Chains A and B, each alone.
Chain A
């Protein structure tokens, strides 16, 4: 509504409510003339005004309501915690109370046998005595502990100490997807990351014939440290017998939402149509709920939501949600995937989590390639870094050709092929004109996680923002639409003494020892292996210097580049020279554009100097 329209409506409205009956009707009719729309707006407001007065709408003070919240907040604090900090509970030492729920209390604890930190869920006595709820709790423990998959919360132990029943699980320092959605508008890349991990979890569960039956954002946890997603709460999960669960078990899930007749309860918005009807359910019910979650992540709103439970259920059963493409710039393929997951009939959905997982993975891969081309090819607008835009743009022939060229590179990034050496890869037409007095450099970091000294999960790509664990290994990749000289120096986190520099690039093993890179070339460092962090924690700086011409101060450092010394610049005078050079030239900071997986730096002039900061613990 335009401000003028708003003012017009309020003027008529205010005058009208001071009049009565026929006088009012005549006035409104007169003022609005032939503008039926205006008249209807005004009349609706007048009706709202009457009702609001009659109902004393916002007639009191908000604080009167708030009073009860302030009180409730007190009441929601644990009345009496079962366990205290520092207390020993079986072989667990209680570190901290994390929260309280209807079932019991959750503590952060240390398992003194294995020295690991766990989340300890201790049931209230009341719950322990309730056979029905205990059954469910045991079920959760049994099911989850039988599943061993990185995206499923690991259950360590289920037992009893001093009459208190407990469940020890992996501790996730993170937030639920619900909280995350509450605080953020998710980017496409992140949505796909989450969806892929959720489906990987479901795929493992379904392989074991286990149906979760209660997938919703509250049951998806995202770890702060590395954004790994964990699916929680297999408390309602069932082992699928034959193809479908028995009907009474299915309706148990549906009735779990019902309390007193007519009362609105819990989260019904993720129920599948078959759950809502109380029909038999199978794995495909989880596909539905995951589709609903993905829809919510993309749209920022849930697809089915009515004023009451019955309204919502009617929507779930009968209504098609607003197409995602109507809600924003959504890649058609993603819309197709989500719609297929949310087909009303289970037979029309993805039949397995694996099928949906494959579609999401290939969409993600495709988008990464496109973003990369967008970044590295100067023929395209680099400003369009938003993957949503990128993915939905119609592609020119140039891009299609480039896609083929890039596929090789991307395959390497995703660990499908092993990168054999840092050889130049010609990407896309690389000769397009670029403003002379500008330097552009794109970089990204590929991260390989390690667990127990073994590579853990597939390598993934980030634009540079992450806290790295000590045993993570990384690769750096660079590309520019321009040719030029690239130098990379590592400045360690030491603060007490003068900074030390290590030559990272060029080196005998990278780019054949030459600092010269050509336009469109993708350079990976190191060529074959990975960079490891040393034990010294803190922030590592990787100084990037990208210049149109040779930089004599840095070019001469080549002699220090050797594997044995890790490129350490041992000559104090040269070290000082480097320090001064970087200090002088880093004052003109380049513009930094961070994308989903790549960062693009742009500086005016013939020289670009920028420190990538890598924090590691």
Chain B
């Protein structure tokens, strides 16, 4: 858990990571995960109905909380967004998996058929399938996979993605088109909009 009074030195860790120190990422990851997770849940419990979870706003808030207003630099911020997109993906997939599980009754002993039978078609399966497809894409084409991650899970727009990946906006658009078409094909055209 992180504490408001004593923010860990995220700026430092980001800088270290940027300079190739992988262990910095290991330290960052849980900090950011906890913060995003906590915020996401708080957002949701506040707005139980209607509600869209604005990822960008969420990550911004996490960033400000973890790094502190004073130290905000764009370069750091874009790296923070890159990590956050990855972490949001993890959080969402974790939840989708648990959700699919809990609905199936995987958590409890002796799940009876009847309990399994009340499962209503829901979207957690689709999100999980998308995640799998994205992993396959990453094997072939890591950058295109990252574009999807940043946009779909991180809520970044093309301009921001271009900044994070250090490519032109046109490249981001092209990558996105190709990746989306391919993923659509992989998922058999089901609408995970």
Contact = CB atoms under 8 A, between A and B. Distances in A.
Interface in B160-193: 174, 177-178, 180-185, 188-189, 191-193
A6 B123 CA distance: 30
B185 A48 contact: yes
Contacts, number: 204
Interface stretch (B6-14, B18-26, B68-76, B108-116): B108-116
B88 A172 contact: no
A264 interface: yes
B152 interface: yes
Given A133-B114, A257-B117, A45 B182 contact: yes
Interface magnitude class on chain B: 35 or more
Interface in A94-130: 98-103, 106, 119, 121
A172 B109 CA distance: 9
A64 interface: yes
A17 B178 CA distance: 10
A70 B95 contact: yes
Interface in B64-110: 88-89, 91-92, 95-96, 98-99, 102, 104-110
Give the interface SS of chain B, mostly helix, strand, loop or mixed: helix
A58 B115 contact: no
B141 to A, nearest CB: 6
B48 interface: yes
A61 B102 contact: no
A169 interface: yes
A58 B148 contact: yes
Contacts of B123: 65, 68
A14 to B, nearest CB: 5
A49 B106 contact: no
A259 B117 contact: yes
Interface string A215-256: 000110100000000001101100000000000000000001
Contacts of B51: 67
A59 interface: yes
B32 interface: no
A221 B109 contact: yes
Contacts of A6: 140-141
A264 B114 CA distance: 14
A55 B191 contact: yes
20 contacts: A14-B178, A45-B181, A49-B180, A49-B181, A56-B191, A58-B152, A61-B155, A62-B88, A65-B123, A65-B192, A66-B88, A72-B102, A73-B102, A99-B108, A103-B114, A178-B106, A218-B104, A233-B113, A235-B112, A265-B119
Interface of B: 40-41, 44-45, 48, 51-55, 58, 88-89, 91-92, 95-96, 98-99, 102, 104-121, 123-124, 127, 130, 140-141, 144, 148, 152-153, 155, 174, 177-178, 180-185, 188-189, 191-193
Interface of A: 1, 3, 6, 10, 13-14, 17, 44-46, 48-49, 51-52, 55-74, 76, 98-103, 106, 119, 121, 133, 136, 140, 153, 169, 172, 176, 178-179, 214, 218-219, 221, 232-233, 235-236, 256-257, 259, 263-267, 307
